[in-house]
Copies of this chain bind each other. A is one copy, B any other.
């Protein structure tokens, strides 16, 4: 089959590789209809996260079931399915508790959590390819309505729509609350969309890219351009001086100031300033324990010196971590089916698998409006 293969920093290639096969009675093989490029795919692409050369990349996948193992009974050949980016066993303690993001059995390294085509997440090939092997298929796959309707919406169910939603869950967004989201990338916009779906009275999205902020406004958010206004002042003005009830971190350790300099603590500090006393922060932007390319010695060891003293004084809670997709994807799917959620509106480009290297290049350089790219392996 054809697949996007990782060969090192700034080097992904479309190559012919061996077709995946059923290796265990609970496996399924999926024919990929859509695979998205994720912002986090740029971490290995930029060489900032180490990944084995020869690995097929891609963890945002959906498609049609092509074949199932002898023990697969719930999912049938021909089913249209979304593949959560967390690959999970379904029977360990963490899976039982709903934390498929921290499955204790799927990652041979022994670390909690596994995934497809991503550094540290196990040996599993990714789905930027014609076919994908999915272990524990009955547990992992989410069934979708047959056909092709809502394809661009459903493809967001594998990662960024649930991930944005998870940010709002960690931030305890509920009806009537005000919410500030830092980052108007795809995850931040999905967080804003989720906050509106959860009944927020108002949602602010902070970024400096005007096209991204415009997209956030299409989902009902109020844009705050931090390169033009003081963020703290802006949020306090919009909330009668109290600050937002809830805050979502959708940026991560590579936070940049308006001048382009990296400050890993910048967004956390801004959240502590703009979220009200007794408020809640959800962090879905990624922070790593080790980051050799970081600006400071502390940051290289994952140590982020943010204003914890003020966080304590305000009594703020901070939830963190990768999204356990299965906790949310069924309800989000139903919101799409009923026309209440439209995550696919963020798609900027739809290209064939062959065009993946070019798409990576442009997405990484953030040119030509590359915001969210879908690959169509069968196109």
A-to-B contact residues, CB < 8 Å: 24-26, 70-71, 73-74, 89-94, 96-99, 101-102, 105, 112-113, 138-139, 165, 170, 174-178, 194, 197-199, 201-202, 253, 265, 268, 277-278, 283, 286-291, 298, 301-322, 326, 330-335, 337-338, 340
Contacts and interface: CB of A to CB of B under 8 A. Distances in A.
Contact of A305 (B290, B305, B311, B318): B305
Contact of A198 (B199, B304, B315, B319): B199
Contacts of A70: 25, 71
Given A74-B91, A302-B308, A306-B308, 8 more contacts: A24-B71, A71-B71, A175-B194, A176-B331, A290-B309, A302-B310, A304-B308, A315-B320
A334 to B, nearest CB: 4
25 contacts: A24-B71, A25-B25, A25-B70, A74-B91, A91-B139, A98-B98, A99-B278, A102-B314, A170-B317, A175-B194, A175-B335, A176-B334, A201-B334, A286-B312, A287-B311, A287-B312, A288-B309, A302-B307, A302-B309, A302-B310, A303-B306, A304-B308, A312-B321, A314-B321, A317-B320
A184 to B, nearest CB: 20
Contacts of A25: 25, 70-71
B74 A105 contact: yes
A316 B321 contact: yes
Contacts of A202: 338
Given A302-B309, A307-B303, A335-B199, A315 B176 contact: no
Contacts of A331: 174-177, 201
